Amino acid sequence: MALVWEQVSTLLIAIVVALAIRAFLIEPFRIPSGSMFPTLLIGDHLFVNKLAYGPRIPFTGIRLPGFREPERGDVVVFEVGRNDGSESGLRTDIVPADFYPGLPQDDFVKRLVGLPGDRIRIRNGRVTINGIPAEQVATGEVFQDNRGVSLAIRDEVLEDCVHEVLDDPVLSNPFGHDREYVVPEGRYFMMGDNRDHSNDSRNWGTVRLDEMKGPAVFLYWSWDVNGNALQFFNPVNWWQADKRWGRAFSRVRCRTHAEAGLP
C-alpha cells in the first residue's frame, strides 16, 4: 500500500508542477491557420512566455506584475470571444473577449501593431502609425501558401522591429482600402503578417492586456499537420507527415535593421 501511495503521490506532484509551469511560466500553443504566414506556419508548435506581461492566477481576476509592457512588433497569443450563435446581430463571429464575456473563448496569435492611443491607418495594405508610414521593402521572394497561391514577401519596418509580411496582389486589404483606427487607451491593435488573409483588429476590434497570455518565444516542434493535440498520438502522422526539423527550437523574434540590411 505504501508503494502504491508513493507512486500516486509522485504522479500528483508531477501534475501539479506541470500545471504550475503552464499557468505561470510558459504555455504551449499550436498554429491552426495561415494568418501569420510566413512568420508562423500551420503545424508550428510554440511556447508563450507568460512571465513577460505577468501571469494570471488561475480561477481569479488577479494578474501578477510582468517584467515588461507589450511592445510594438511582439507576436502575441491572446483570447477572443467566438460567437457560437447565442449572440445575434454580430457582424463577425470573433469579438473582443471582454465585450462578450459569456461567449466561448478561443486563442488567437497575431502581431502587435498598435499601442494604446495610436492612430492606425491602413491604405492598400500599408500601415501608417501616428502619421508615419511603416516602410515596406520588397524582397523579391515569393511564399506559396497552403492553397498553392503565390504571395509576395515584403519586409515591414515597425520602428525597431523588422519582420516579413505577405502581399496578395489580387486581394488587397479586404477590410477597406483606406481606413483609420484609433486605438483606445488600455487596448492594443493586432494584425496578422499574412495581411490580406487575416481576421484581425481591422475586422473585430482591439485587445486588452488582460486577454493577452504573452509573447511567443520559440518553436519547439513543427510539422505539416493541422489538428488538435491528439494528432501527436497518431502514428500515421509520425510516419507520413512532413517534419520541419529546421524550425524546431527556433526563436520567434523581430530582426534588427542591421540583420535585415536596412539603414
50, 110, 198, 222: the catalytic one is 110
Please report which confidence band the pLDDT of residue 181 belongs to, taking 50, 70 and 90 as the band edges: very high
Share of the chain above pLDDT 70, in %: 89
Measured CA to CA, the distance from residue 3 to residue 153 in angstroms comes to 60
The predicted model gives 154-169 an average pLDDT of 95
Please report which confidence band the pLDDT of residue 1 belongs to, taking 50, 70 and 90 as the band edges: low
pLDDT score, position 5:
64
Q: Mean pLDDT score of the chain, rounded to an integer?
A: 90
Active site residue 35: yes
Check whether domain 2-247 has CATH 3.30.365.10, yes or no: no
> Would the pLDDT of 150 be above 90?
yes
Measured CA to CA, the distance from residue 149 to residue 136 in angstroms comes to 21
Please report which confidence band the pLDDT of residue 230 belongs to, taking 50, 70 and 90 as the band edges: confident
What distances in angstroms separate CA 148 from CA 39, 43, 144, 145, 189, one per listed residue?
A: 17, 17, 6, 5, 29
- DSSP E strands in 72-135: the ranges are 75-82, 94-96, 105-114, 119-123, 126-129, 132-133
Active site residue 243: no
pLDDT in tens, 124-145: 778 999 999 999 999 999 999 9
pLDDT score, position 179:
87
pLDDT score, position 226:
86
Give residue limits of the domains in the chain.
2-247
> Would the pLDDT of 118 be above 90?
yes
